[in-house]
Amino acid sequence: MTPSDGPLSMENLARELRYVRDRLDITDCINRYCRGVDRLDVELLKSAYHPDAMDDRGAFVGHPSEYIEWLLPILKDAAGTSHNVSNISCEIQGDIAHAESYVITCVWSKDGKSVVMGGARYIDRLERRHGVWALSHREAPMDFTFRAQTQQLPPGALGGTRARDDRSYKRPLELSPDAQRRWEEKQSKQA
């Protein structure tokens, strides 16, 4: 289904709204997968899949629970990962969608001296079940990989964690106690 170019009517407006909502929910699902991997959040990662889904990575094929069991040791052997998704194309037909997303992955070594970068695509079949879009089939062909040396982070750069204590989970997001202290020191020097 594609948005209507027809005259504005409640029916066309409802169809367009449904399409936009579905696109947003599908994009959220794809991003939920990436965030689950990058934060090592198994529950978030699982939520991107229907339980009976299949995932084909070439080196692995199986259901989400098996995929996660296969993936976690690989992720834990790295110091961190970053998945950057772009160019999401999507065809929606009722409760079934087919999407292709480009992804750049970064996996940095435990010693922090190098990073492996790769380009891949997620070729997905998603289904809306009980009002929730999730993956029912994923294939992830790799397009390229390379290794690069890393550099030191700038002094004072904020760091993240690969767990639920990462600041991205903080609600409401406010200055950390350390940042609040630094802000107050800065303000007192300016006064």
pLDDT tens, position by position, 44-83: 999 999 999 999 999 999 999 999 999 999 999 999 999 9
Question: Strand pairing partners for 121?
Answer: 102
The pair phi, psi for residue 112, each rounded to 5°, is: 75, 10
Distance CA(140)–CA(58), nearest Å, equals: 8
Mean pLDDT of 146-175: 91
CB 159 within 8 A of CB 153: yes
pLDDT tens, position by position, 102-124: 999 999 999 989 999 999 999 99
Q: What class has domain 10-163?
A: alpha beta
pLDDT band at 1 (very low <50, low <70, confident <90, very high): very low
Can you give the pTM of this predicted structure?
0.88
Closest CA to 112 of 151, 73, 61, 142: 151
**For residues 150 and 136, which has the higher predicted lDDT (pLDDT)?**
136
Distance CA(54)–CA(29), nearest Å, equals: 15
What's the sign of the alpha-carbon dihedral 38, 43, 44, 50?
Answer: positive
**Helix/strand/coil for 1:** coil
Residue with tokens 């995932």: 55
Following CA atoms 79, 100, 25, 167 in sequence, which dihedral angle do they give, to the nearest 10 degrees? Answer: 20
How much is the mean pLDDT over the chain? 93
pLDDT at 8 over 90: no
Residue 169 has a pLDDT of: 94
Domain boundaries, the chain: 10-163
- Within 13 Å, how many C-alpha atoms sit on residue 48's CB side? 27
| Strand intervals (E) in the chain | 49-56, 61-62, 80-93, 96-108, 114-129, 132-139, 142-149
pLDDT band at 5 (very low <50, low <70, confident <90, very high): low
